[in-house]
Every structure is written in structure tokens, then in C-alpha cells.
Amino acid sequence: MKINYLYSIAFIIIFFASCKERYSPKPQGYLRIDLELPKNKLFKPENCPFYFHSSDYFILKNKSNCWIDLEYPKHNATIHITYKSINDDLSKLLEDSRNMVYKHTIKADAINEKIYLNANHQTYGTLYDIKGETASAVQFHITDSINNFIRGALYFHVNPNQDSLKPIINYLRNDIVKIMESLQWEDVSSLKE
């Protein structure tokens, strides 16, 4: 009995003596990512009826039928851009684009839509910000509502982790916004007639 009492006292003394140091949590941190300063350049993909200004730190790869990839090897990411001519099927193209975005609702925490209108360039579109652990964080479509339709999506070639990818997503999102704002159809004058 006396031994148990001594063990209890020793335990209490050790317990209070060991708590001299105050615990302070370490601040949250991220890997340092050095992002290049954007230098705008005009891009005119081969055999495509549009052109745009964007930063010059990606590799533009032309694919067939005016489908292009903007590859960012440093960030292990690609913006896939597809072009289609409108043949009385604008509503179907818009619905397909929207369905591609909303396929991410299984993993998405939120999907925010932002409308873009530029009457001078005759470009009208929607930018989708997809929050959460999804395969694609940003998607968009842009059209002149008469002849041309473009759809784009940003994909990373790594497992999605929003915390560590957020600075790069924001950086590449700025490129997408620049593309949407500066995109012009090759012959805007014929569209106005």
C-alpha cells in the first residue's frame, strides 16, 4: 500500500516537473515557388481563326483541328484549348462545356462562375473556378455566338492538392484571364456585318 502511495506521488511530481516548457504550434508553411514575371506576347496558333496575348513562359503545341496545348513544364501543368466552329449547335456546345465542368462536383467544394463580355472583340464567355481536390481547377469557354467556340481547361500532371498548388493555380489562372480578355477572332469585321 505504501509503495503504491509513493509511486503515485512520484508520478505527480514527474508530471508537473515535465511541463515547464510552453507548447507553441509551428506556423503553417508552403514550399517556396519562384514564379516568373509575365512578359506578354502575341500568339497565333497555326490554322486557327483566333489569336491572343499571354505570357511567354509556356510551350504552345498545335494539335489537329485547331486544338492546342499550352504546356508549362516547370509547373507540370497544361491548359488544353479546343476550338470548334458553330454549326447551329451553340446551345449544345455550351451545355457540353458546362457538363464537363460540373463532372467535378463529386470532388469539388465549390464551383464559381464568372461571365466575360467584350463587345469590341465580340467575345463572350464564362470562367469556372473549381475549388477542392479536383483534377481541373480552372475551366472556361469563349465564343462569338455566331461562328466560333473555344473551350479550355487547366490540368496538372500530379495528384491534386489545393494547398500546395494554390499559388500556381492563381498564377496560371491569370494567364487564362489574359487569354480570355485579349482573344480576338481573325476577321472581326466580317462578324459585325
Per-residue pLDDT of the chain (193 residues; tens, 9 = 90+): 566 777 777 777 776 666 566 667 777 765 667 777 878 889 999 889 999 998 888 888 888 888 999 999 988 899 999 999 999 999 999 999 999 999 988 888 999 999 999 999 999 999 999 998 888 999 999 999 999 999 999 999 888 777 778 888 999 999 999 999 999 998 754 444 4
Residues with Cβ within 8 Å of 86's Cβ and at least 6 positions away in sequence, in order, are 93, 143, 145, 146, 147, 148, 149
* Residue 1 three-state SS: coil
> Which residues are bridge partners to 126 per DSSP?
115, 141
Residues with Cβ within 8 Å of 176's Cβ and at least 6 positions away in sequence, in order, are 79, 127, 138, 140, 152, 154
Sheet containing 136-143, strands listed edge to edge, beginning at the edge strand earlier in sequence? 59-62, 68-72, 77-85, 148-156, 136-143, 123-132, 108-118
What pLDDT, on a 0 to 100 scale, did the predictor assign at position 31? 64
What pLDDT, on a 0 to 100 scale, did the predictor assign at position 29? 65
What pLDDT, on a 0 to 100 scale, did the predictor assign at position 193? 40
At 159, list the grid cell: 495528384
Cβ pair 127, 113 in contact under 8 A: yes
What pLDDT, on a 0 to 100 scale, did the predictor assign at position 192? 42
Cβ pair 134, 108 in contact under 8 A: yes
C-alpha span between 36 and 40 (Å, rounded):
12
C-alpha span between 23 and 20 (Å, rounded):
9
